[in-house]
Amino acid sequence: NAGVTQTPKFQVLKTGQSMTLQCAQDMNHEYMSWYRQDPGMGLRLIHYSVGAGITDQGEVPNGYNVSRSTTEDFPLRLLSAAPSQTSVYFCASSYKPSSYNSPLHFGNGTRLTVT
Amino acid sequence: AQTVTQSQPEMSVQEAETVTLSCTYDTSESDYYLFWYKQPPSRQMILVIRQEAYKQQNATENRFSVNFQKAAKSFSLKISDSQLGDAAMYFCAYRRGANNLFFGTGTRLTVIP
């Protein structure tokens, strides 16, 4: 029972490099989202998706791209990494987008450092 | 815009005692949901308790309960009989619409043996 799987767990990038953070869930969840966690700022929503083929922006979308070609996967792409993107990234999913009885399931996070 | 404020960056409690963590939020909506999440050092996000805004009765989950004051836009978490395993960061969160959560900045809880 894998739940929400994020890879990698840790990553170091140089400024200007691009990379993709992977997120996969095996619970057939419709809703998936990406958050970043910074000290003193809690978690902030980057992008979200309410189903395959549908994505939308959250609070802090700049510098990130997402796509949702399958129900299971929701990768987060950093186009040109900047030191301000140093953070811990969480992927989260739930069964129904608007259902109260569908709590968010979080992955274990990816710690990204941009030098 | 909706914002969530946790005014206590750090709190401590003696083992077996009770502690209350504060949370206030700002919204113009009448229908929404509120949550408390726990984040231990493992970094995992764990749902502790949730409250529907249209319910006047305060939610309770074992040793965890909330004091939901809708008019005051306040949503505090009470932890009774505190245990060492309760030590963690606690985040208050507001949800509206899809399933997007807006989080506070967190309160770090230390449990003193």
* pLDDT (average), residues B36-45: 94
C-alpha span between A96 and A11 (Å, rounded)? 31
DSSP 3-state assignment of B88? Answer: strand
C-alpha span between A2 and A28 (Å, rounded)? 12
| pLDDT the model gives residue B2 | 58
Q: How far is A14 from chain B (nearest CA, A)?
A: 24
Residue B102 touches partner A, C-beta closer than 8 Å? yes
Q: How far is CA A50 from the centre of its chain?
A: 13
pLDDT in tens, A3-13: 999 999 999 99
Look at residues A44, A43, A72, A41 and name the one whose alpha carbon lies nearest to residue A58.
Answer: A44
Given an 8 Å threshold on Cβ–Cβ distance, is B91 in contact with A50? no
Nearest by CB: B33 against A59, A92, A100: A100
pLDDT in tens, A66-111: 999 999 999 999 999 999 999 999 999 998 777 767 889 999 999 9
C-alpha span between A66 and A89 (Å, rounded)? 14
| pLDDT the model gives residue A40 | 83
Residue A50 touches partner B, C-beta closer than 8 Å? yes
Query: Which positions in chain B touch A100 (Cβ < 8 Å)?
Result: 33, 50, 52
| CB-count burial class (<10 Å; 0-12, 13-18, 19+) for B92 | buried
Residue A33 touches partner B, C-beta closer than 8 Å? yes
C-alpha distances (whole Å) from A30 to each of A4, A21, A33, B39, B112 are 13, 19, 10, 24, 42
Look at residues B69, B63, B103, B106 and name the one whose alpha carbon lies nearest to residue B86.
Answer: B63
| pLDDT the model gives residue B72 | 96
Residue B100 touches partner A, C-beta closer than 8 Å? yes
Given an 8 Å threshold on Cβ–Cβ distance, is B43 in contact with A40? no
Q: How far is CA A60 from the centre of its chain?
A: 12
